[in-house]
Amino acid sequence: MKFPSSHKTNPAFIILGPPGSGKGTQGKILGTIPRFVHFACGDLFRSLDTRTALGKQFVSYSSRGELVPDELTIGLWKAQIDNLAGTHLYKPDIDFLILDGIPRNVQQAKLLDQYVQVHQVFHLSCPNRDELARRMRKRALKENRLDDASDTVINQRIATYEAETKPILQYYPADHVTVIDATQPPVKVLSEVIQRIIQLPVYQSTSSQIV
Ligand code: ADP
């Protein structure tokens, strides 16, 4: 099935938080649950061939701690979602899409509204910027991430989050946002996300149809 582009019912949840808040950790775990499909925008960008024009653009923006331009990002997202739907790895009519790292600004949120219906945003909150920087430095060593390698880039990424990504929280209605303390152990964060999901009407109506 091709991803229905004019369809507004494809249900989605967003995991939103500063770099280092644990979006990927939570998204990966949620993606192992049947009917949940994890989409990590940063992973998609990192998988690009860096010899291509797109791959080169990604490296030039991410290595400065900046966002890749919106049209490019949403275009790539859409192409990947179409692939996943085309190969039935993602079934838009019954699966929940877990968006991690996208949208990253209000314009991206508006563009995504054409394709998915966002039922809840999980805000992984971590006001302690030193803790975020510590987590990013640790990740730079373990995962060889260029964009986490220097304090200048780390600070720029946190500043980009504050200026461009955080305003997304005001874009969605207040009852669509759940704030979760990201300094808790991952299992507690996960538990709060799941507790909220199972209360949502969209989950209750969709899960009762699945056998
Ligand atoms: P983190 O998980 O640490 O927040 P990501 O792995 O999601 O970081 O993203 C790494 C980099 O990829 C970002 O700094 C940015 O340059 C680029 N990127 C990822 N997602 C987006 C997006 N939705 N829009 C623009 N740029 C993005």
For the stretch 65-112, pLDDT in tens is: 999 999 999 999 999 999 999 999 999 999 999 999 999 999 999 999
pLDDT tier at 145 (50, 70, 90 boundaries)? confident
Q: How far is the CA of 208 from the centre of ligand 1 (A)?
A: 35
Between CA 189 and CA 186 the distance in angstroms is 5
Give pLDDT, residue 148.
74
Give the mean pLDDT of the chain.
92
Best residue for ligand 1 mutational test, from 78, 147, 156, 166 (most atoms within 8 Å of Cβ): 147
Residue 72 in contact with residue 48, Cβ under 8 Å?
no
What is each CA distance from 97 to 9, 49, 138, 145, in whole angstroms? 11, 25, 28, 25
pLDDT tier at 144 (50, 70, 90 boundaries)? confident
Residue 62 in contact with residue 80, Cβ under 8 Å?
no
Global pTM reads 0.92
Best residue for ligand 1 mutational test, from 15, 23, 41 (most atoms within 8 Å of Cβ): 41
Give pLDDT, residue 1.
47
Give pLDDT, residue 41.
97
Between CA 51 and CA 129 the distance in angstroms is 34
* Cβ 105 under 6 angstroms from ligand 1: no
Give pLDDT, residue 210.
56
Is 118 a residue whose pLDDT tops 50? yes
* Cβ 23 under 6 angstroms from ligand 1: yes
Residue 92 in contact with residue 85, Cβ under 8 Å?
yes
Q: How far is the CA of 45 from the centre of ligand 1 (A)?
A: 8
Give pLDDT, residue 6.
47
pLDDT tier at 4 (50, 70, 90 boundaries)? low
- Rounded average pLDDT over 33-60: 95
Report which ligand 1 atom has the smallest distance to the Cα of 17: 4
Report which ligand 1 atom has the smallest distance to the Cα of 40: 7
* Cβ 102 under 6 angstroms from ligand 1: yes
Please give the torsion angle defined by the CA atoms of residues 209, 117, 67 and 78, in that order, rounded to the nearest 10 degrees: 70
CA angle in degrees (0–180, nearest 5) for 38-208-93: 45
Q: Which two structure tokens, joined as six digits, stand for 151? A: 């304090």
Name the strand (E) or helix (H) holding 96.
strand 96-100
